[in-house]
């Protein structure tokens, strides 16, 4: 690295989305290759929380290369579990791989049963294969000792409906499982006597910890769930998919509105810059390829699918760096109002 090369600190905000988290893996791989970018903090929910924890764990042991190796190992182990999954996608459709599971009889049977029976009835032993993968790939003590990257993992308290943010020293396997606990599939995760569900219901991902507990003013949001869809859903699975997207984006939209409001007050001189933090917001969007996938594909654990998603994420991050890297430390690379407050989001 050149001695006088400028080093920029950034924070990452990682959305959840099941198997689609492999897209984020690709984005992270590309960002980790940038020697002049330093990750100060990561806020993660569900699959975003897994990526955040695995990255920090690998980074502690061997820097960026260790982080990349850890991420690959994690997604490989998830795919190995998937070999025993009854959910299988059609091999091809219209000459292209079909990654959705809409035509999988086993997937549709499971989806139907999950609306009729609770996870306490379908899975009374509370077995969660993700726990086995985390225990195999994650060194909790090393993760907690990571001083280079600050972690903020979100989960939703079942009784109050409030978000809880677990910081570095609080992270456990159960905390990560809680952050990814879809209540129709898994039993709630008990932490310190309190039951928790997926953090996406109240923060996908949460932004405010990155404001209060880090120095960097730049936040890169890695977006998995689309804010806008042109088409109106008609089929039942399309309706459920869009409902989930709206639900998991709602808290993010609310936070971004608050960021825009405060930024405007700072720009207008109504708030003191020394007392309030002006943020530079950047987004690496999900792109057309993810846009074509629906909720069923989030249960697809084929290694080929993960590689496909990683390649998309890597390419999207590379494209973003070419066009917007110069904005880091200077300005937002999106217009928050156009993206989060307009009828049809417009990305720069």
Q: Which two tokens stand for residue 145?
A: 């000792």
Q: Is the pLDDT of residue 122 over 90?
A: no
What is the average per-residue pLDDT within 305-314?
96
Residue with tokens 């530079």: 280
105-114 pLDDT, tens digit per residue, is 666 666 777 7
- Check residue 329 and report its DSSP letter: T
- Grouping H, G, I as helix, E, B as strand and the rest as coil, residue 156 is strand
Nearest to 114 by CA among 59, 52, 169, 187: 187
Give Cα separations from 267 to 18, 262, 270, 283, 294 (angstroms).
38, 9, 8, 21, 40
Residue 265, phi then psi, degrees to nearest 5: -65, -40
Give Cα separations from 219 to 5, 47, 163, 185 (angstroms).
21, 18, 20, 32
What is the average per-residue pLDDT within 316-343?
91
Q: Is the pLDDT of residue 231 over 90?
A: no
Q: Is the pLDDT of residue 143 over 70?
A: yes
Range of lowest pLDDT (121-130, 145-154, 198-207, 208-217): 121-130
Confidence of residue 94 (pLDDT cuts 50, 70, 90): very low
* DSSP secondary structure letters along 184-232: TTSPPEEETTEEEEEGGGT-TT--HHHHHS-S--EEEEE--S-S--SSP
Residue with tokens 């590379």: 318
The residue among 330 and 81 whose pLDDT is bigger is: 330
Give the predicted TM-score (pTM) of the model. 0.91
Q: Is the pLDDT of residue 90 over 80?
A: no
The residue among 235 and 176 whose pLDDT is bigger is: 176
């Amino acid at each position: 690295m050149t001695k006088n090369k400028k080093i920029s600190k950034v924070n990452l905000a990682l959305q959840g989305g099941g198997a689609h988290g492999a897209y984020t893996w690709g984005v992270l791989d590309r960002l980790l290759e940038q020697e002049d970018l330093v990750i100060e903090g990561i806020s993660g929910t569900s699959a975003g929380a897994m990526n955040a924890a695995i990255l920090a764990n690998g980074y502690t042991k061997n820097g960026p290369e260790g982080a990349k190796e850890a991420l690959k190992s994690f997604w490989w182990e998830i795919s190995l579990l998937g070999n025993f999954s009854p959910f299988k996608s059609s091999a091809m459709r219209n000459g292209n791989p079909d990654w959705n599971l809409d035509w999988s009889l086993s997937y549709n049977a499971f989806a139907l049963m999950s609306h009729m029976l609770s996870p306490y009835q379908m899975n009374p032993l509370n077995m969660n294969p993700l726990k086995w993968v985390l225990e195999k790939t994650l060194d909790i003590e090393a993760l907690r000792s990571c001083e280079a990257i600050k972690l903020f993992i979100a989960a939703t308290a079942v009784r109050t409906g409030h978000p809880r943010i677990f910081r570095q020293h609080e992270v456990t396997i159960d905390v990560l499982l809680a952050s990814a606990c879809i209540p129709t599939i898994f039993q709630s995760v008990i932490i310190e006597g309190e039951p928790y569900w997926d953090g996406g219901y109240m923060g996908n991902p949460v932004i405010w910890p990155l404001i209060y507990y880090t120095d960097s003013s730049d936040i890169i949001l890695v977006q998995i769930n689309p804010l806008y869809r042109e088409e109106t859903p008609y089929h039942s699975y399309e309706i459920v998919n869009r409902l989930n997207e709206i639900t998991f984006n709602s808290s993010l939209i609310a936070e971004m509105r608050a960021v825009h409001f405060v930024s405007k007050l700072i720009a207008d001189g109504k708030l003191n810059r020394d007392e309030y933090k002006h943020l530079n917001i950047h987004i690496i969007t999900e792109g057309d390829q993810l846009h074509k996938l629906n909720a069923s594909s989030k249960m697809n654990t084929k290694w080929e699918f993960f590689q496909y998603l990683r390649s998309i994420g890597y390419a999207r991050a590379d494209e973003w760096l070419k066009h917007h890297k110069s904005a880091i430390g200077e300005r937002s690379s999106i217009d928050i109002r156009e993206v989060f407050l307009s009828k049809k989001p417009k990305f720069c």
